[in-house]
Structure 1
């Protein structure tokens, strides 16, 4: 079968653009209304997209005076959405730095059962000191240790998800026999950071295990992704960078003994669509025009790079000194490297840069055909498997994508016309992992 595109949708509040909440059709408190997220899920499911990814940092973000920088708990939210959806995958973000392994493994697996095998887990490590303080942690470990902890954490979680074999539940009501206790296994994990007895008190997933998603792009994050991730939400701004990232991840995955083709690489994409190029540009300019002067894109870019006091010249290239990671910067290194690398590669002025990325992700402004052309080019030549669509405004810009771009991709034979599976793992074309506790089958000779 020919390769097919895969699409996740980044569902962040009212949308990815900082002025999304000012959309006249949206209530100001859309970000706390279940009905808002239900509308988003309906649109994504109508387009047969693979899954919804819900970002999360458990701390009140700065800038609350200008925008609703807050989120609902993604596991609770996805559990609610499981009831009103049928096929779309549901992927909450949860940090290994601030959760206990047994509890989080149980919550994600519970979501998987509630949704009929549609759950994933976007694995992150927390870099925000303010978030740590909300959990009574005075100081977070350095990045290397955070990822060592995460590696042990994920391995332990997989053991907990495997602690029930797939045929452990017998369910014989006549004989009063519920489960084969020999097929429910203690984990007895004693590691560098965690100690858990197990087993989990939830049976094995309908899809084998929930799908592991990862979004870190630092050197440590890429190594972690190669070792564990089944889908990767990454920031890539150029084809050359995308190819290099894909080759690095797949080569490292093979070195870990993994199938390099059983990883879905899905960089972020912000599509702004109009009937003409001019109309699409006008829509984006309208969004930009809603920003308060303190949130001007050039000023935001400098702050985001870690240089809050720098005034950027829109018609000059990004100053070379700003392409060096500032000392003490604690934000995502992958976004920083992607943007500064793209600036150096292209020599674009700041104004040009601001028309090609939004918040760290590739921005494509144009007609449905223009957006489809971009997706097809990257899919065929960029070493990727699709995109994580990151709508500037929700649900409206997602509706545009489903109504106008998805039919174009279907016409080209690049995307499914309807769901062909019932689980997230099935949508993504990922194999069901073997149970690490399952006993080896006995051969016909008994050997």
Structure 2
């Protein structure tokens, strides 16, 4: 079989999609806080044979701009957020083959809790779960968890590295075949196949044994999106599915080649790399262009500034649109530093302005991600070119919901299947099987650096 692309839906458990203006769309559903909404989208995606739907998350609303939530709430700028695990489970229980993922932070949760909730989700869904690992972004999230400020950028990743060691260590606690259910002999499980972690490190102490046995796919698939220098090192060490943002195909080709080399050096060549995109499709080119014009009219200036302040943990109300950032101010920017680096690169300046940050990030507008637009054949042409040169599949973000997913499944998926670029049905029953990932052996993740060993009890 020739190489085929992976398709992933970029979900939000909130009042809008990644595109903030989506809630203003006349066809956007208003029942985003109901189970019916997530069940319906899950069934649409499964009908389209999507590999995975994963839910993004923040632990605060975007209120860093002016340190005020009034504009955020009034304009619906990702102003309402449900817990992603609850919506993920809701979607998962309404589907049978679709992979289901959720975002949980390594900065504000404890590893045992995250290990248990995702291992439980994986069992409830028969081996279809994924965890999108993030380190969180800003001081608003810190304040919601009783902290005065967010951890420094590299320190967050140091903590996250140890967090992963603890989570994966707990997921290794139960070996395959540990549960025997021997009623006559009175033995529930073999103690020799259950281990205690006994982890002690700079950030965490966690004893075990873990309380959840292994799932049909071993353990949940780990998604990662780090694109800064430190974040990229984290992603290539831990990520089993990488989510990236490419501003153009040319940038994507270079980044893809670099990431593939780093993954190969780590012995992880099979890790799929998937950029986020928008797809605007119509039965005719004119219909697609009309859809795009309407969608672009939904954006407001307040959207961009609120989201940029959120994602960079910097209050952009401090500066006028044409003001350049000083070296000291650039150093103070936290959050997703890949956006800061992109603003410098795209502006061609060492000290970009606020306007140049807005343009480079695309936050609050459709230019945040590349746009594939046109008829089904034209959208498939664009996807095919990217797939052949710069990626292993795509993270499809909805311009409005559920209509964008319904249009994509109805119009684009059949064209991709006709070209042999996308599968006609799921190959297996687990997410790993459908992504072409191997089932992990216990403790196979451990690197050469010293790790706390499992002690059999």
TM norm structure 1:
0.87
CA distance in 2, matches of 1:203, 1:220: 33
Match runs of 1:95-244 below 5 Å: 95-244=105-254
| Cα distance in 1, alignment partners of residues 272 and 443 from structure 2 | 23
* Number of the residue aligned with 2:451: none
Equivalent-residue separation in structure 2 for 1:410 and 1:104 (angstroms): 37
Provide the residue aligned with 1:392 in structure 2: 399
- Counterpart of 2:79 (choices 57, 69, 83) is 69
For the residue of structure 2 that corresponds to 1:2, the secondary structure is coil
Q: How well do the aligned residues superpose, as a CA RMSD in angstroms? A: 3.0
Task: Give 1:247's aligned residue.
Answer: 257
Distance 1:338 1:38 in 2: 37
**Equivalent residue of 2:252, what SS?**
helix
Q: Please say if 1:15 is aligned against 2:22.
A: no
Distance change in 2, residues 1:354/1:331 (3 Å): closer
Q: Show CA shifts across 1:342-397 (max 9, x none).
A: 5659xxx9999979x72631122222122111111111111x11010001111100
Determine the structure 2 residue equivalent to 1:2. 2
- Would you say the 8 A contact 1:61–1:70 is kept in 2? no
Q: Which structure 2 residues correspond to residues 257-296 of structure 1 after superposition, within 5 A?
A: 258-259=267-268, 261-292=269-300, 294-295=302-303
**Would the alpha carbon gap of residues 116 and 198 (structure 1) be closer, same or farther in structure 2, given more than 3 Å must change?**
same
2:339 to 335, 350, 362: 335
Per the alignment, residue 66 of structure 2 pairs with none
- 1:414 aligns to what? 421
1:43 maps to 44
Say if 1:107 and 1:340 are closer, same or farther in 2 by CA, change over 3 A: same
Q: Distance in 1 between matches of 2:54 and 2:326?
A: 31
Find the aligned partners of 2:107 and 2:75 in 1 and give their Cα distance. 29
Question: Partner of 2:371 in structure 1?
Answer: 363
Aligned pair in 2 of structure 1 residues 303, 99: CA closer, same or farther (>3 Å)? closer
Shift of 1:292: 4.4
User: 4+ runs of 1 displaced by more than 6 Å?
Assistant: 297-306, 319-325, 349-355
What's the counterpart of residue 24 of structure 1?
Answer: 26
Alignment pair present for 1:427 and 2:428:
no
Shift of 1:72: 1.0
SS at match of 1:272: strand
Q: Which residue of 2 aligns with 1:405?
A: 412
| Distance verdict in 2 for CA 1:304–1:86, change over 3 Å | closer
Separation in 2, partners of 1:156, 1:123: 14
Q: Distance in 2 between matches of 1:286 and 1:218?
A: 34
Taking the aligned partners of 2:183 and 2:10, their CA distance within structure 1 comes to: 43
| Match in the other structure for 2:352 | none
- Identify the residue that residue 69 of structure 2 maps to in structure 1: none
Alpha-carbon displacement from aligned partner over 1:401-443 (angstroms, at most 9, x marks no partner) = 11111111111101001111111111111111111299xxxxx
Offset of residue 69 of structure 1: 1.9
Q: Distance in 2 between matches of 1:275 and 1:325?
A: 48
Task: Report the Cα distance in structure 2 between the residues aligned to 1:322 and 1:358, rounded to whole angstroms.
Answer: 28
